């Protein structure tokens, strides 16, 4: 059977799965007396807690995963029944369950740049048709008061939730200003199905409103909440004796600027500085070719022996503790959890002057900002921090105090819970 025939057949099969609730179902769902099921079974729905279904495509411990955990914790600590539907298993699962949430497997095709071709989109359409019944069953089984979607890369969840009559909150962590307007509009169109849209930075909000201004009334900016180390971190060392340790935490991918950090390392070594670079993070899906490029860049610069690959790390604090300067050379960064984590660890930060990083770092006061994609500028700023270490050290200690307040999990959880409460109240 060809792909087109498969799509037609599968969507015909979905006819019995997706429909708006009948008048009987709507009445039964809101009845204080309960819901009568054929066979004499009575389910009491009037006294139940609010229920939320959270859809998230990953289960690692990157920034977006940790923010989902904070969102879930915000709800469970306030008495919500939360089910988290995940497309894969990973270290996030036990943390979600420890927070009081249930977790279920739900296939979620993810819209990636690698799918932006005729064959890629056709493959995605087939995968979406194949997995939609599972999404429908999961939503119906949970019967949530709110469906919370953690990203714009799984738009089919919003479509299904809307067709089934469930209110939707979409949390936008993406700000793809380098993508074409057609792609941005395509990704953003799903937000018109949401009762509430949460943006993680003003940069993200402004980009969305530039393309779809009608979203303004339903949009709210909530900065990420980032939990710091459980104990106060060790201050930066008094003097930089021995190798100077640079650290980049994040996926190995072009948008994270890993190649720029490696090039900057080479520049610093050629200038006679004794520096090393630790890379903490895995290779982004479909970007294995980029890992090969990094090896070639490092070999060409003669710094292969000065780079350590740490892989994905569960807890960043010990790694930051051993670093002198944290790098965030992203080409695009809607928010920048790793910059906040470095501040919470009292480590000097050198980051790109782009999107959400500009909202976190005030250049020259609580960190340093450089032109994105410029390895020479990055090397210059790192060297300036080294040469003015006493100032960089004091600024890092002050940045920690500020970050504890601005990006506290408690503030985030309150704001997220308020967004859920207002959405349920407006949907009654």
Please give the chain's pLDDT, 428 residues, in tens.
444 444 433 333 433 444 434 333 333 343 333 333 333 333 333 445 899 999 999 898 888 899 999 999 999 999 999 999 999 999 999 999 999 999 999 988 877 665 555 566 677 778 888 889 999 999 999 999 999 999 998 989 999 999 999 999 999 988 777 667 777 777 788 899 999 999 999 999 999 999 999 999 999 999 999 999 999 999 999 999 989 999 999 999 999 999 999 999 999 999 999 999 999 999 877 788 999 999 999 999 999 999 999 998 878 999 999 999 999 999 999 999 999 999 999 999 999 999 999 999 999 999 999 999 999 999 999 999 999 999 999 999 999 999 999 999 999 999 999 999 999 988 66
Residues recorded for the chain: 428
**Cα(24)–Cα(226) distance, rounded to whole angstroms?**
44
Could you tell me if 205 and 288 lie in one domain?
no
Could you tell me if 62 and 152 lie in one domain?
yes
pLDDT value for 17: 41
Contact 169, 148 (CB under 8 A): yes
Domain count, the chain: 2
Q: Please report how the helices 118-142 and 3-13 are oriented relative to each other, as an axis angle in degrees rounded to 10.
A: 20
**Rounded alpha-carbon distances, angstroms, from residue 230 to 227, 345, 382:** 8, 11, 28
CATH code assigned at 204: 3.40.50.2000
Could you tell me if 253 and 200 lie in one domain?
no
pLDDT value for 108: 87
**Cα(352)–Cα(165) distance, rounded to whole angstroms?**
42
Contact 336, 351 (CB under 8 A): yes
Residue 81 domain-assigned (yes or no): yes
Could you tell me if 181 and 268 lie in one domain?
no
Q: Which helix (H) or strand (E) covers residue 179, if one does?
A: none
**Cα(169)–Cα(417) distance, rounded to whole angstroms?**
12
Could you tell me if 221 and 279 lie in one domain?
no
Residue 100 domain-assigned (yes or no): yes
Could you tell me if 144 and 203 lie in one domain?
yes
Could you tell me if 396 and 275 lie in one domain?
yes
pLDDT value for 169: 98
Residue 236 domain-assigned (yes or no): no
Residue with tokens 């599972």: 134
C-beta atoms surrounding 286 within 10 Å: 12
Contact 339, 252 (CB under 8 A): no
Could you tell me if 274 and 220 lie in one domain?
no
Residue 103 domain-assigned (yes or no): yes
pLDDT value for 117: 59
Compute and round to an integer the Cα radius of gyration of the chain. Answer: 23
Residue with tokens 């985030």: 412
Contact 43, 35 (CB under 8 A): yes
**Cα(250)–Cα(371) distance, rounded to whole angstroms?**
19
Paired strand residues for 225: none
Residue 317 domain-assigned (yes or no): yes
Q: Which helix (H) or strand (E) covers residue 123, if one does?
A: helix 118-142
Could you tell me if 295 and 210 lie in one domain?
no
Paired strand residues for 252: 283
Which pTM value belongs to this model? 0.81
Could you tell me if 200 and 251 lie in one domain?
no
Could you tell me if 251 and 369 lie in one domain?
yes
Residue 358 domain-assigned (yes or no): yes
Could you tell me if 83 and 121 lie in one domain?
yes
Domain around 132: 49-225+409-426
Secondary structure of the chain: what % helix, strand, coil (to 5)?
50, 15, 35
- Structural tokens at position 314: 């569960």
Residue 34 domain-assigned (yes or no): no
Residue 20 domain-assigned (yes or no): no
């Amino acid at each position: 059977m060809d792909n087109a025939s498969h799509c037609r057949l599968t969507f015909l099969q979905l006819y019995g799965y997706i429909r708006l609730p009948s008048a009987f179902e709507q009445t039964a769902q809101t009845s204080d007396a309960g819901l009568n099921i054929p066979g004499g079974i009575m389910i009491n729905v009037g006294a139940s807690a609010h229920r939320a279904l959270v859809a998230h495509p990953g289960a690692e411990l990157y920034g977006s995963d940790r923010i989902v955990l904070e969102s879930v914790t915000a709800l469970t600590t306030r008495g919500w029944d939360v089910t988290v539907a995940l497309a894969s298993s990973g270290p996030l699962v036990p943390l979600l369950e420890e927070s009081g949430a249930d977790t279920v497997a739900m296939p979620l095709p993810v819209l990636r740049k690698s799918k932006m071709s005729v064959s890629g989109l056709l493959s995605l359409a087939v995968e979406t048709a194949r997995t939609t019944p599972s999404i429908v069953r999961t939503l119906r089984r949970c019967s949530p008061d709110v469906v919370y979607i953690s990203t714009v890369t799984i738009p089919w969840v919003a479509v299904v939730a809307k067709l089934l009559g469930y209110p939707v909150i979409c949390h936008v962590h993406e700000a793809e200003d380098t993508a074409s307007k057609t792609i941005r509009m395509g990704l953003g169109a799903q937000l018109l199905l949401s009762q509430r849209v949460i943006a993680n930075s003003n940069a993200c909000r402004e980009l969305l409103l530039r393309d779809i201004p009608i979203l303004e009334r339903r949009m709210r900016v909530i900065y990420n909440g980032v939990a710091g180390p459980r104990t106060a971190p060790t201050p930066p060392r008094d003097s930089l004796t021995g190798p100077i340790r640079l650290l980049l935490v994040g996926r190995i991918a072009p948008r994270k600027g890993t190649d720029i950090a490696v090039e900057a390392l080479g520049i610093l070594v050629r200038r006679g500085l004794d520096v090393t670079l630790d890379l903490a993070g895995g290779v982004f899906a479909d970007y294995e070719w980029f890992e090969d490029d990094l090896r070639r860049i490092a070999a060409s610069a003669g710094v292969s022996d000065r780079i350590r690959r740490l892989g994905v790390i569960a807890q960043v604090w010990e790694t930051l503790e051993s670093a002198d300067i944290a790098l965030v050379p992203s080409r695009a960064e809607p928010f920048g959890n790793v910059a906040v984590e470095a501040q919470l660890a009292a480590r000097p930060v050198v980051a790109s002057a782009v999107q959400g990083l500009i909202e976190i770092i005030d250049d020259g006061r609580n960190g340093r900002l450089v032109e994105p994609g410029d390895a020479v500028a990055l090397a210059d700023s790192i060297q300036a921090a080294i040469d003015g270490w006493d100032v960089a050290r004091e600024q890092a200690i002050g940045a920690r105090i500020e970050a504890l307040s601005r990006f506290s999990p408690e503030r985030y959880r309150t704001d997220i819970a308020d967004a859920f409460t207002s959405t349920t109240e407006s949907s009654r």
